[in-house]
Amino acid sequence: MTFICSAAGHGKQIVYAVVVAGCMMIEGLFMTWPNVVVDLIINANASSVSEGANNLPPSHIQEEFLLTDYEAGWLASLPTLSSIPFILLSGIFINLVGLKGSTMLGLVLAIVSWLMMGLTPSITALFIGRAISGAAYAFIVTVSQPLVSELVSPKTRGVAASLPKFFSNLASLEINVANIFLPWHLTTTLCAAPFFLLLLSILFVPESPYWLVKKGRENAAISALKSVYPPDDIEVQFQEVKQCVTLKSKKPGVREQPEARAKGSFMNNSGFYISDTPNATPKQLQACYADGDHLRLLWVQRQ
């Protein structure tokens, strides 16, 4: 029975990791789209002036848009530029609505951007859609990897960590293949389809238990852990989450007195003293540190 519960728990973890990592398709799509579609627009425009080496037939694209190389360059780079302020703002949103909430916001923005670009009536709307896709990317890329790591166990984390980049590359392949058979308008519009499915799927993904504990919602954190881990592991995992959040929330630069240190305190390999509670054991702290949360501990005062 324990083995069955454990297998079911790992199965859920993989499903949650696939859903969250799938959101990183936004990276592959918005990076590959200009290489495929913008070149098609420019070449189609060129074909209306002269029959070049490509011998591209005139199409509806040149009737709708007349993109110069300069405008095409801005269209390609716009998401990268627009993502800069939103990457900075994403930290505020994560603190307010959580990692899952920030991911959902990014998915909504991704859907809006691709529909606006695919169904756009003007070049202005095309540029606005590209800018919105940069904002979507900023919210998703900031939280996808941390959320994947916090929803899976160390045994599953190695596989889960590779999923975001896998889906990013898969999306690049998808848009290249689709553009061979479909006009650019339809190719662009269909880019919104995966994000509709992901938005529905992520409703069933639990919020980060670390964020929930940080916000004082311990019952919700336990419920999130129950949806990921087998029943026998819930208490251990919950205590480890609380331990990590406690270490992170401690003020930087505060050095404990030697006599106040826990009996089981120790120095890790990086030279950081990571014991800060009387009831903590070296095993718990080591598990916390090795559980993919080392970035949470880098501020701890060096001894």
Say if 225 falls within a structural domain.
no
pLDDT top residue among 291 and 164: 164
| Domain co-membership, 134 together with 47 | yes
227 dihedral zone (left: phi>0; alpha: psi -120 to 50; beta)? alpha
Token pair for residue 137? 């990317």
Name the phi and psi angles at 273, rounded to 5.
-85, 115
The 10s digit of each residue's pLDDT in 205-260 is 999 888 999 888 889 988 888 888 888 888 888 888 888 877 665 555 444 444 33
| Domain co-membership, 119 together with 244 | no
The 10s digit of each residue's pLDDT in 33-59 is 887 666 555 555 555 444 443 444 444
Say if 213 falls within a structural domain.
no
| Domain co-membership, 33 together with 82 | yes
User: pTM score, two decimals?
Assistant: 0.71
- For 113, the domain range is 2-52+66-205
In angstroms, the CA 221 to CA 244 distance is: 14
* Residue 43: per-residue pLDDT: 54
* Residue 158: per-residue pLDDT: 81
> CA dihedral defined by 129, 130, 132, 137, rounded to 10 degrees?
140
Query: What is the 8-class DSSP label of residue 281?
Result: -
| Domain co-membership, 26 together with 127 | yes
Domain count within the chain: 2
| Domain co-membership, 109 together with 150 | yes
Say if 103 falls within a structural domain.
yes
The pLDDT of 60-77, averaged and rounded, is 67
Lowest pLDDT segment from 69-73, 82-86, 108-112, 269-273: 269-273
CATH code assigned at 34: 1.20.1250.20
Query: What is the 8-class DSSP label of residue 294?
Result: G
Res. 188: pLDDT tops 70: yes
The pLDDT of 156-181, averaged and rounded, is 88
| Domain co-membership, 254 together with 168 | no
| Domain co-membership, 193 together with 254 | no
Longest dimension (CA), the chain: 84
Say if 75 falls within a structural domain.
yes
Q: Tell me the pLDDT band of 131, cut-offs 50, 70 and 90.
A: very high
In angstroms, the CA 140 to CA 124 distance is: 25
| Domain co-membership, 78 together with 187 | yes
Say if 214 falls within a structural domain.
no
* Residue 303: per-residue pLDDT: 39
* Residue 243 CB coordination number (10 Å): 24
In angstroms, the CA 275 to CA 262 distance is: 7
Say if 215 falls within a structural domain.
no
